[in-house]
Structures are given as structure tokens and as C-alpha cells.
Structure 1
């Protein structure tokens, strides 16, 4: 059974939220895949994760680099899972055919972007159908005015 989570970003951009979620996943001993909708987004996130904090380091690589299977965090544009990740982060409203191989799947979308909100609604419907037929759990999180995550569904 997979936990499927939706994070509705309103107070902070993806670049502020994603590193924290990855850090928490690594603390649990999970490997991560971040799936992006384009090579440009993949490369931008790759660069960002090297510089997002002077006090922290996130070991990571991209699918375009050698030995992706050795990366604790892999940034990709495809649905492959060469590093045997337990958690998959989906950005840019990319779809995921099968959540079953993962402990957790996290959809992150910008609540200020109407297109991303519409796509996230479609992903929610798909995930809800998968949850009903395959026994996955499904939750929806939104930031409050203080930037804390509040479970809405």
C-alpha cells in the first residue's frame, strides 16, 4: 500500500519546499526520485539542490549523469527508478502510471498557477481511483498563513 500525498504550494515555491521534504525522506533512510516535466526543470533543480543552503548538503544526481543507481536522490524526467527509491516526488503535474512500487508518492503543485491546479485535480482523480482499487491512502495538504502544512483531505 502506497501513501499518496498532494502538497498545494501557496506560501512558498517548490524550490523552498522540496529540499526540506527530501531531507526528511533521507532521515528516514529512504532513497528519492524527483520526476520533472522537462530537462530544463531537472537541470534547474539539480543546480538549486547544490546551493539552496550553506548549512546543508543533499547528495544527489540526475539520470543524465553516470551511475544513477548510486544516487540517494535522483532527479529525472522519466518514470524509471534506477536508484530503487522508496519515495517519488512529482513536480510539473507529471503523471505516474503505477504508485505501487513506492512507500510514498508526493505530488507538489503551485497553487498560484491555474494550469498546475487543473492538472493536480486530474492527478487527484487518478490517485483516488487507484486508492479505491489498490488500497492506497490519499491525503491533501495545504499551507496555512504561517507556512505550516494543514491536512485538508
Structure 2
């Protein structure tokens, strides 16, 4: 059974934090699915990831390509089934994740923008839903300038 890791972004933007976390997942031998709510936003993220530093290249694709099953990191939206058999699911922009997905994955990462009150409220609701269903969860904050675990359930 996996754990849900909540990442409260306050200093580092999504397009910097996500590659760092996905890189750690790849290093653990896991394929990753990244789930958002909007196709346009995922296309933006796809472009941002291609612009990343050469030494930190994150191999990835946008769902619907000819090699989805081979993608180490596959960008998807709610309702799409990732074709790369991920062991790690990362959600952004309040995309839904179910307790069953947390239990089936090695890890679920929920990244949310701490500067947007609505995003914080959605993440709190997700924490309550997932822990209420018996899922393990950790809350990580970068408020001090580095990532620190602030809560665990």
C-alpha cells in the first residue's frame, strides 16, 4: 500500500519541483503519471519540461503519442488512463486522486500552490478524504527554504 505525499509549493514553482520529484521516482525504478485537470495546462507543462536544463532532462511525453507505454513520465488529464503502467502518480492543480489509487501505487504526490487559497482548501479536502479512508499521508512544506515533513498520518 502506498502513501500520499502532499507538497505545499510556496517558493519553488511547479515546473521546477515536479521534475525534481519525478527524477527521484525514476531513480527508484518507477514510471510516473502526472495528472492535471486541463489539457492546455498539461501541454504548457510539456513545453516547460522540454526547456529544462540539459543535465536535468526529464524523459516524458503527453498522453496520446505513439510511445505512451514506453514513457518514463506520462502527462495526462483527469479521466485518461495512463498507458505507461505507473508506480507513482503525481497530481497538480487539484486533480482528483482516489484512496484506491493511493493503495495501488508505490507513491502518490499531490502538488499544490500554497499561494492560492483555493488550492490549499482543495488539498486539505484531499488530505481529509484520503486519511479518512485509511491511506497513509505526509505533508511536506518548503516554507523554511528547504523541504521539511510537517505532518504524517
Tell me which residue corresponds to 1:106: 109
Alpha-carbon deviation of 1:103? 0.5
Question: What is aligned with 1:129?
Answer: 132
Paired residues for 1:49-64 under 5 Å: 49-64=49-64
Shift of 1:41: 1.1
Q: Which SS does the other structure have where 2:7 is aligned?
A: strand
Q: Tell me which residue corresponds to 1:68.
A: 68
Q: Would you identify which runs of 4 or more consecutive aligned residues in structure 1 move more than 6 Å?
A: none
Within a 5 Å distance, the mapping from 1:2-151 to structure 2 comes to 2-79=2-79, 80-97=81-98, 98-99=100-101, 100-130=103-133, 132=134, 136-146=135-145, 148-151=146-149
Q: Is the 8 A contact 1:11 1:145 kept in 2?
A: no
User: 2: CA distance between counterparts of 1:57 and 1:110?
Assistant: 23
CA shift, 1:62, in A, is 1.0
Cα distance in structure 2, aligned partners of 1:75 and 1:18: 11
> Deviation string for 1:104-132 (max 9, x for gaps)?
000000000011111111111111112x2
SS class of match (1:55): helix
Contact 1:5/1:140 (8 A) holds in 2 = yes
Could you tell me how far 1:44 is from its partner in structure 2? Answer: 0.8
Aligned residues: CA RMSD: 1.2
Unaligned runs of 5+ in 2: none
Contact 2:30 2:86 in 1 (8 A): yes
Q: CA deviation at 1:70?
A: 1.2
* Distance (Å, rounded) in 2 between the aligned partners of 1:13 and 1:87: 20
What TM-score, normalized by structure 2, do the two folds share? 0.91
Q: C-alpha separation between the residues in 2 aligned to 1:29 and 1:73?
A: 12
Count the aligned residue pairs: 148
